[in-house]
Amino acid sequence: MPRRKAGVLLPLELAILDSGLTLQSADASFYGFALARALADRDGAALIAHGTLYKALGRLADAGLLESEWESPEAAEADGRPRRRLYRVTGAGEQAVRAAADASRAASLAAAAVSAPRSASKPAIA
């Protein structure tokens, strides 16, 4: 499998960052299963395979686009469940989402300009 260029994000990674920003606006952070549900709801698809999701989360954390920490044992124990790994999109992650959105808009505008019919300019008759 060929390596991708540094700084180029996969569509899944952009979707994770975008959905993560939405989730963390409601709470200070988000966890993997909540993210998987948000991605499935957003795309109208089944849940992403957890191995795929957590590998992508790890890549994003390694790139500095996400930060993570384990929640307190007391919070998990109070809810009677295992501890969650909590994620937050960093400032660099927000910039990456904005840059991708800007690039997408620019590409759409360029494509629209190329495909728009050109009107033949006719000299005005006096």
Is 22 among the domain residues?
A: yes
Is 122 among the domain residues?
A: no
Q: What is the pLDDT along the chain (126 residues), one digit of tens a residue?
A: 457 677 788 889 999 999 999 999 998 999 999 999 999 888 777 777 777 899 999 999 999 999 999 999 999 999 999 999 999 999 999 999 999 888 877 777 777 777 666 655 555 565
| pTM score, whole prediction | 0.77
Is 112 among the domain residues?
A: no
Is 5 among the domain residues?
A: no
Is 1 among the domain residues?
A: no
Is 24 among the domain residues?
A: yes
Is 56 among the domain residues?
A: yes
Quick one: pLDDT at residue 14? Answer: 93
Token pair for residue 64? 């500095």
Query: How far apart are the two ends of the chain, measured CA to CA in Å?
Result: 65
Read off the CATH number of the domain in which 48 is found.
1.10.10.10
Domain count, the chain: 1
- In angstroms, the CA 90 to CA 66 distance is 5
Quick one: pLDDT at residue 103? Answer: 82
Is 115 among the domain residues?
A: no
Is residue 27 within a helix (H) or strand (E), and if so which, with residue range? none
Contact call for residues 68 and 24 (beta carbons, < 8 A): no
What DSSP letter does each residue of 28-51 carry, written as one string? Answer: S-EEHHHHHHHHHHHHTSPPPPHH
- Residue numbers of the domain that contains 17: 11-103
